[in-house]
């Protein structure tokens, strides 16, 4: 029965008091968030604990979720906030508070399917060099290439305009290529 229920249907039931169904959401999203955490929080040994905290926070705030909206960007947003807090706490990587990319409009880049060698090459570079990228570029690359989120969803998770998502992905790929080439020269 729960296999045919959408995430939003399940949250509706949990909001009504059927808390056992929350386990289904955990089952569905745990692999995704673990993968997101492992890729974004490079070298953070307590990534699994942080993912657990994400689910606990999701449960605590579930009544604030509107089931007419999509659940996926909402839980990813909670995960994003927890991961950023973890980075700030550890203080290992600088996080810029002021983001000039969001100040001005940019031409909206068309999403490219990249269901070919290009994507394979990009993922290979990501696997090798992701930890060397600025978190500002690392995160949208992880969400796009590993979590398969579209630009709109990434914009909702990061709370930035869709055009800025395109800008960050392009700059992220350029930075990735630089790092990759410097490692292999």
Partner 1 sequence: MSEENLSEQNNQTKTVQDNVLAAIKAGQVHMKPRWHFVLHTILFIVGLILVLIAALFIGSFFLFTMHQNGAWFAPAFGGSGVRELFTTLPIIFALVAVIFILVLQVLVRHYSFAYAKPVLYTVVAVSVFVIGGSFLIQQSRFHESMLQEARENHLPFAGIFYKQFDVPATARLTPGLVIEQINSGFIMRDPSRRNVTVIITPKTAFPNGEDFDNGDRVIVLGNRQDDLIMAEGIRELRPNERYLPSKDRD
Binding site residues, partner 1, CB under 8 A: 14-15, 19-20, 22-23, 26-27, 30-31, 34, 48, 51-52, 55-56, 59-64, 102-106, 155-156, 159-164
Q: What is the DSSP track for 11-42?
A: HHHHHHT-GGGHHHHHHHHHHHHHHHHHHHST
Helices (DSSP H) in 41-70: which residue ranges? 47-60
Measured from the CB atom, is 61 or 112 closer to partner 1? 61
Rank residues 46 and 118 by Cβ distance to partner 1 and give the closer one. Answer: 46
Residue (of 94, 67, 64, 95) closest to 158 by Cα position = 95
Residue 70: CB minimum distance to partner 1, A: 12
Q: Which two tokens stand for residue 125?
A: 């570079």
Our CB check for partner 1 shows the closer of 84 and 179 to be 84
Q: Among residues 37 and 129, whose Cβ is nearest to partner 1?
A: 37
Cα–Cα distance for residue pair 179/132, rounded to 1 Å: 8
Shortest distance, position 167 Cβ to partner 1, whole Å:
11
d(CA 79, CA 6): 20
Residues 6+ apart with CB under 8 A from 113: none
Instruction: Output DSSP code: residue 108.
Output: P
Minimum CB distance to partner 1 smaller for 93 or for 101: 101
């Amino acid at each position: 029965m729960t296999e045919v229920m959408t995430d939003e249907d399940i949250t509706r039931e949990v909001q009504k008091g059927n808390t056992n169904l929350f386990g289904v959401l955990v089952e569905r999203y745990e692999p995704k968030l673990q993968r997101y955490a492992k890729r974004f929080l490079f070298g953070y040994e307590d990534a699994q604990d942080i993912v657990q905290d994400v689910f606990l926070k999701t449960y605590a705030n579930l009544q604030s979720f509107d089931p007419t909206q999509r659940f996926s960007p909402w839980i990813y947003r909670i995960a994003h906030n927890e991961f950023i807090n973890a980075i700030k706490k550890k203080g290992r990587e600088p996080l810029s508070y002021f983001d000039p990319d969001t100040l001005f409009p940019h031409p909206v880049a068309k999403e490219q399917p990249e269901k070919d060698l290009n994507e394979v090459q990009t993922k290979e570079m990501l696997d090798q060099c992701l930890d060397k990228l600025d978190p500002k570029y690392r995160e949208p690359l992880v969400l796009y290439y590993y979590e398969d989120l579209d630009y709109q969803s990434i914009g909702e998770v990061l709370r930035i305009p869709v055009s800025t998502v395109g800008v960050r992905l392009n700059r992220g790929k350029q930075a990735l290529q630089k790092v990759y080439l410097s490692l292999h020269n």
